[in-house]
Structure 1
């Protein structure tokens, strides 16, 4: 005759004996199938759709809502049971510090927008830091890369606009003088036209 005696294993959620027929193992913890539920909405979970944090189970939407949107793993829903964290070794905390320092703010400011540049979004050209999104052609706003830019008088240009502005027309200051001269001629013509109309 078969024995249906329970095992010595206890459910993590309800602390009652778990029988082999009703046993579910997740994150090296044992649960009854009925006890494997989201802590927030109490819906039954499956191994394919659950998430856990510090031993507390969540369905994927509530896990995302709590941890992805806030970006903080210290916040929790009201009533979330607190499970003691295992002691960290010095090796683990040193690794955490080196990783967090990589993402921490720096004192470097982007030349384009004068905001803090983080290492993950930083482009450095000749020792000058830029955000990837600020590293653009001054003339046309084109996206440029460290291998396809030209710096001229402290401004960045894509190769196309640099050739268009400087190689065909010469020096940029000559271009400004030409534009300024054209504006003055246009203004003088307008004044002359107004004087002729006024005399008529």
Structure 2
């Protein structure tokens, strides 16, 4: 080769390909896991100016109704049945002017002469005496008491039969009142507030002492949230809004219709469903 006139050399531009045995790729397979769909939460719209009313269940009558007031009897009951005759109340009669002959209450014999009449009955003069065998005093000029059909002088009646007043502890010889399984003078059985005799009126017991119905309602009874009058014994009432109402007073604040079904609360006042919004 002439260095002054070199010949061009042809060089191949193709890359040299070298073959090698094929290698099989190894891949780790995992079980298919399904993709959970996205969860959408609805937007809760709130109105700060108009709160949603809360509906209450329909009114149910109270399971424990208010007990009725106690009735106070005027006279003793049971075996206590006596009638008092004041001094001078027994009348001495010389003869009978009626068409029939009188009969003695004690001996049941017809009286053909003088007789004594008292407490609606008639006696022979010698039979109108104290029934206590150790006494036997004539009752014509003194006070007496009839107990279970027998006559006693006031002294023996007070000693053996007369009840004691539960309030003053004194013997009861006249009119009495039997209440709460105790016996009282009529003038001793009074209201603890107004001090007026209860007599045959209704009364209530609070802390062991009696009150007339008027004072008991004023002092202890629950007042209706609608009319502000007491909820008396036997009245039907509703418990709502931490208050008690007469059934007829629990009405819609807007239309005044009774809330016999559910009701809504706005401003701590009851409304019907129609006027809840």
TM range, normalised to the smaller chain? 0.3 to 0.5
TM-score normalised by structure 1 residue count: 0.35
Higher helix proportion: 1
Which protein, 1 or 2, shows the higher relative CO under an 8 Å CA cutoff with sep ≥ 6? 2
Higher gyration radius (CA): 2
